[in-house]
Structure 1
Amino acid sequence: MSTFVSDARAATAALRDLFEATPLQRNDHLSQKYDADIWLKREDLSPVRSYKLRGAFTAMRKYRERHPDQVQFVCASAGNHAQGVAFACRHFGVMGTIFMPVTTPQQKIDKTRIFGAGQVEIVLTGDYFDQTLAAAKAFCAEKGAHFLSPFDDPDVILGQSSVAVELLQQLGKAPDLVILPVGGGGLASGVTGYLRAADPSVDYRFVEPLGGASLVAALRAGHPETLPQVNSFVDGAAVARLGDNTYQMLDWIDPAHVLLAPEDRVCITMLDMLNVEGIVLEPAGALSVDVLPELAAQIRGKTVVCITSGGNFDFERLPEVKERAQRFGGLKKYFILRMPQRPGALRDFLAMLGPDDDIARFEYLKKSARNFGSVLIGIETKRPENFTTLFAKLDQAAFPYRDITNDGILSEFLI
């Protein structure tokens, strides 16, 4: 038995002082849909609603074993890692200083403070995470505190390996395939590090958000690379650079086995899991389920485990998620319509709409001494092909229009 396997099992046993194993649940809906045996490892049901508690607890425990006098820990995070560190600080009775960007939603600040139960101080600094991280590390150097990395730390990786230890115990056999979300690589490193040693028969697929493909970049370059920009919507996995330690544990991956999930498509998956299964997943937590359609032919008849990595979703974001899902699915479009400035023109336009078409946005400014006025219009419908019919009618009636649904700059400014 390898050292990593034995250490992972010991780390898992130590976690039982904090919480019971998260459920491994067979999902009938997905199993029937894909003609496979699909299980969800529900990390969204941990005490802090993500797997991050595992790594934070393990790293803190291991460091305190080596440095029993250390009573001050620091992290920089706006989300799940902060909550995991706060929970671990409460458990060990040590002080934690948690640096968060000034732009962090109040809900996340409040939850971190609740989990810390008086053992943490929250410092809001920096408009961007890089500024927050720099402030946290400067504080560590000044105060002699220990910095807890969210993923690029061998002890954090060891803590995340407990997910794999549990799922093998719960399933009672090795699955054919494990699907893992990837941000900085801590979860993927821990799970594959354990399973590759404990049962080499397991196959893997990895999922990154399209706008934060740091694993793909590292595998292509042969070393971690910093992405020039990152789409932050899938905030739990939107990482600009894979960790050095995590890359060393993931450099064997075939780039063809890393799938990229468009951020707006993830919204469809989130809504499907919420409406059909009653499961609340954050964007990163839905990644492993989101790629099942792409793998449908490969997983038929197989046992598949999807790691649902987190469920810290602020329902104030639900309208945005619905909007993104509709746009990606072709059920909602925005366009600028050039409407003739004559009596009856609006009535003519409305007559072109079908029975399933619904106006969701309408802004019109009539201007004097002009033949046409511009209308910003948003339309929802029930089938994507309805827009083909509508646009054909607009062309026939000589109503000029411009579809701005996928124009990032214009839609962000106008919508």
Structure 2
Amino acid sequence: MTDFAQDAIEATRSLRALFDPTPLSRNAFLSQRYGAEIWLKREDLTPVRSYKLRGAFTAMRKLRATTPDADHFVCASAGNHAQGVAFACRHFDVKGTIFMPVTTPQQKIDKTRTFGGSNVEIVLVGDYFDDTLAASQRFCDEAGAYFLAPFDNSDVIEGQASVGVEILDQLGKAPDFVVLPVGGGGLAAGVTGYLRVTAPETQFRFVEPAGGASLKAAVRAGQPVALPHVDSFVDGAAVAKIGAKPFGRLEWLQAAHVLAAPEDRICQTMLELLNVEGIVLEPAGALSVDVLRDLRDEIRGKTVVCIASGGNFDFERLPDVKERAQKYSGLKKYFILRMPQRPGALRDFLQMLGPDDDIARFEYLKKSARNFGSVLIGLETKRAENFPALKQRLQDAGYTYRDITDDAILAEFLI
């Protein structure tokens, strides 16, 4: 067994001072759907509702073992890493200074403060994370503190490897596949680093959000590269550039094994898990389950472990998640409709709708001419095939309209 595998086992033992192994549970619903044995590794059930506590605790423990006077730690994070660091600071009774963007939701600030208590000071600075990170690193140098990176740190990677140790112990055999969500790459590097030694027959599939495919870009380039734009919706995995240390441990993987999950489809998966299974996952936490539909042919008849990486979901986002899921399913669309400005025009339009169609939004934008006005209209239906039929009826009746559902620019300003 390699030194890394031995260290991962030791990290796992040390974590028992904080919490028991997270559940590895067979999911009957997903197993039946995909004709496979689907197991969920429930990292959403750690004390901070994500796996990030593992890496933060391990890095802090190892540093304090070699540098006993290390009593001040700094990090920059708007989410799960901040909460993991805060929890670890309280456990070791050391000081933590956690930098967060000014735009961080109050719920995340409050949770971080709850986990850290009086051991933690939260500093809000910067509208964007890059500004927050720069400020935290300047402060760390000035204060002589120790910076805890969320993923680009060898000890953090070692801590995340404990997920793989628990999977093998709990399952009692090597799984055929492990599906890993990827953001900065720490979890993927740690779990594969352990299992490639202890379960060499296991195959891996990696999934990242379509709007933040930094691992795929790195594999193609042969090195980490910065994406020009990142969709921040999957905030736990929306990373512009995968960490150098994690990528150094992942260079062996094939580009074909790195998949992308569309953000709107992830919303559909989140709602399904909530409504059918009662499992609350954040967008990044649902990545590995979402991508099963793309792996259907590969995994049939196999034993598959999906890592549900986190469940820190703010329910104020639920309306947005529902809407994105409806759009992906084809059950909701937005149109700009040119409406005649005459008595009875609205009634005539309403007669175009089918029995399963419902108006979710209706807003006059402005009059484009004396006799016509532009209307923003949102429609919901029960079956996706209802929309082609509606469009045909509108065309036959001579209506001019534009479907803006998938027009990102117009949707941003109008919806």
Query: What range is the shorter-chain TM-score in?
Result: over 0.9
> Structure 2: which amino acid aligns with 1:84?
G
1:215 aligns to 2:186 (yes or no): no
2:327 alignment counterpart: 327
Partner SS state of residue 159, structure 2: helix
- Over 3 Å counting, the alpha-carbon distance change for 1:368 and 1:44 in structure 2 is closer
Q: Deviations over 1:281-319 (max 9, x none)?
A: 000000000011111111111000000000000000000
Q: What are the ranges of 5 or more consecutive residues in structure 2 without an aligned counterpart?
A: none
Residue equivalent to 1:37: 37
Partner of 1:78: 78
Q: Which stretch has the larger CA shift, 130-139 or 356-365?
A: 356-365
Match of 2:137 in 1: 137
Paired with 1:37 and 1:266, the residues of 2 have a C-alpha distance of: 21
Tell me the equivalent position of 1:248: 248
Match of 1:275 in 2: 275
What letter corresponds to residue 26 of structure 1 in structure 2? R
CA-to-partner distance for each residue in 1:60-96, whole Å, 9 max, x for gaps? 0001111111100000000000000000000000000
Counting only pairs closer than 5 Å after superposition, residues 39-188 of structure 1 correspond to structure 2 as 39-188=39-188
Using the alignment, how far apart are the partners of 2:239 and 2:271 within structure 1? 24
CA drift of 1:199 comes to 1.3
The SS at the match of 2:249 is: helix
Within 2, Cα distance between the matches of 1:148 and 1:368? 56
> Alignment partner of 1:235: what SS?
coil
In the alignment, is the contact (CA less than 8 A) between 1:152 and 1:184 conserved in 2? yes
TM-score w.r.t. structure 2 length?
0.99
Partner Cα separation in structure 2 for residue 277 and residue 171 of structure 1: 21
5+ residue gaps, structure 1: none
Q: Distance in 2 between matches of 1:368 and 1:334?
A: 19
- Decide whether aligned partners of structure 1 residues 146 and 315 sit closer, same or farther in structure 2, where only a CA change above 3 A counts: same
Q: Secondary structure at the match of 1:117?
A: helix
Q: Deviations over 1:218-266 (max 9, x none)?
A: 0011110011110000000000001110010001110000010010110
What secondary structure is seen at the aligned counterpart in 2 of 1:99?
strand
- CA 1:61–1:366 in structure 2 vs 1: closer, same or farther (change >3 Å)? closer
Amino acid at match of 2:61: R
Q: Is the 8 A contact 1:176 1:302 kept in 2?
A: yes
In the superposition, relative to structure 1, how do residues 179 and 410 fare at CA in structure 2: closer, same or farther (>3 Å)? same
| Length, aligned pairs only | 415
Give the corresponding residue for 1:15. Answer: 15
Q: Give the whole-Å Cα distance in 1 for the aligned partners of 2:324 and 2:210.
A: 15
Aligned twin of 1:195: 195
Q: Distance in 1 between matches of 2:281 and 2:403?
A: 31
1:393 is aligned with what amino acid? R
**Shift of residue 5, structure 1, vs aligned partner:** 1.0
Cα deviation for residue 369 of structure 1 reads 6.2
How far did residue 103 of structure 1 move? Answer: 0.2
* Pair 13,368 (structure 1): closer, same or farther in 2 beyond 3 Å: closer
Conservation of the 8 A alpha-carbon contact between 1:341 and 1:366: no
Displacement after TM superposition at 1:328 (Å): 1.0
| Counterpart amino acid of residue 292 in structure 1 | L
Could you report, residue by residue, the CA deviation over 1:386-415 in whole angstroms, capped at 9, with x for unpaired residues? 010110010001000000001111111111
In 1, the alpha carbon distance for the partners of 2:285 and 2:366 equals: 46
**For the Cα contact (< 8 Å) 1:50–1:311, is it kept in 2?**
yes
CA distance in 1, matches of 2:317, 2:114: 22
Tell me how far 1:124 sits from its aligned partner.
0.1
Structure 1 stretch displaced more, 369-378 or 296-305 = 369-378
Go from structure 1 to structure 2 and tell me whether the alpha carbon gap of 1:369 and 1:77 turns closer, same or farther (over 3 Å shift): closer
Contact 1:175–1:202 (8 Å) recurs in 2: yes
Q: Using the alignment, how far apart are the partners of 2:68 and 2:99 within structure 1?
A: 24
What aligned pairs does 1:264-303 form with structure 2 within 5 A after superposition?
264-303=264-303
Q: Which moved more, 1:157-166 or 1:361-370?
A: 361-370
Distance of aligned partners of 1:367 and 1:130 in 2 relative to their CA distance in 1, 3 Å threshold: closer
1:230-379 maps to which residues of 2 (within 5 A)?
A: 230-364=230-364, 367=367, 370-379=370-379
* TM-score normalised according to structure 1 size: 0.99
In the TM superposition, what is the alpha-carbon distance from 1:342 to its structure 2 partner?
2.0
Q: Describe the SS at the equivalent of 2:64.
A: helix
Distance 1:57 1:120 in 2: 15
1:115–1:368 CA distance, 2 compared to 1 (3 A): closer
Aligned residue in 2 for 1:204: 204
How far off is 1:364 after superposition? 2.2
CA RMSD of aligned residues (A): 0.9
Name the aligned partner's letter for residue 10 of structure 2.
A
Note closer, same or farther for the CA distance 1:366–1:203 as it changes in structure 2 (3 Å cut).
closer
Distance 1:368 1:237 in 2: 43
CA contact (8 A) 1:363 1:376 kept: yes
